[in-house]
Structures are given as C-alpha cells and as structure tokens.
C-alpha cells in the first residue's frame, strides 16, 4: 500500500483545503491522503464509518488542476451536517 501523504506536502486549492477541514471538523476524524498511482480514476474518497479512525482520500497523483477541482467537488457533494460523529 502506498504511503500516506499529508496535506502540507501537497498543493490543494484553498477551497479544497476548506472542504477537507470542514469534513474533519464535522466528523472529528482526519482525512488520510494516499497517493495511489495505479488508480483507474483521478481520485476516490472513502468516508469514515463509525468504526473507522479516518476518511481516506486516494489520489492518482500529479498536480493537475482537473484533479484538484475533482477532489473539491467530491468533498462538497455530501452535506457534512448529515454525517455521524
């Protein structure tokens, strides 16, 4: 499994960082970012369930603007107020 990378080591859009922070604040769980070059898509996110210690954002890699917008879109497509804490 690829090693997790922190948000500090990647350049995300400010709106993406805000969405990541809102998800973490709403659930009390961190977002683990994992670069996964073998992905067949640009990015996936698995939201943490009650038994999980973190959400997992897998990204194919690279710094493409499309990837950055996709991540933000994925994060903002779910209302955080409906998430269990």
Q: Give residue-wise pLDDT tens across range 6-55.
A: 555 456 777 778 888 888 999 999 999 888 888 888 888 898 999 999 99
Q: Are residues 36 and 59 in contact, defined by beta-carbon separation less than 8 angstroms?
A: yes
Q: Give residue-wise pLDDT tens across range 4-18.
A: 555 554 567 777 788
Q: Are residues 76 and 19 in contact, defined by beta-carbon separation less than 8 angstroms?
A: yes
Task: Please tell me the predicted confidence (pLDDT) of residue 80.
Answer: 54
Task: Please tell me the predicted confidence (pLDDT) of residue 28.
Answer: 94
Q: Give residue-wise pLDDT tens across range 57-77.
A: 888 876 666 666 667 777 776
């Amino acid at each position: 499994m690829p090693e997790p990378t922190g948000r500090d080591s990647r350049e995300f859009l400010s709106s993406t960082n805000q969405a990541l922070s809102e998800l973490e604040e709403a659930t009390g769980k961190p977002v683990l970012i994992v670069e996964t070059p073998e992905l067949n898509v640009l990015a996936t996110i698995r939201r943490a369930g009650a038994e999980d210690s973190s959400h997992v954002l897998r990204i194919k890699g690279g710094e493409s603007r499309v990837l950055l917008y996709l991540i933000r879109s994925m994060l903002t497509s779910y209302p955080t107020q409906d998430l269990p804490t």
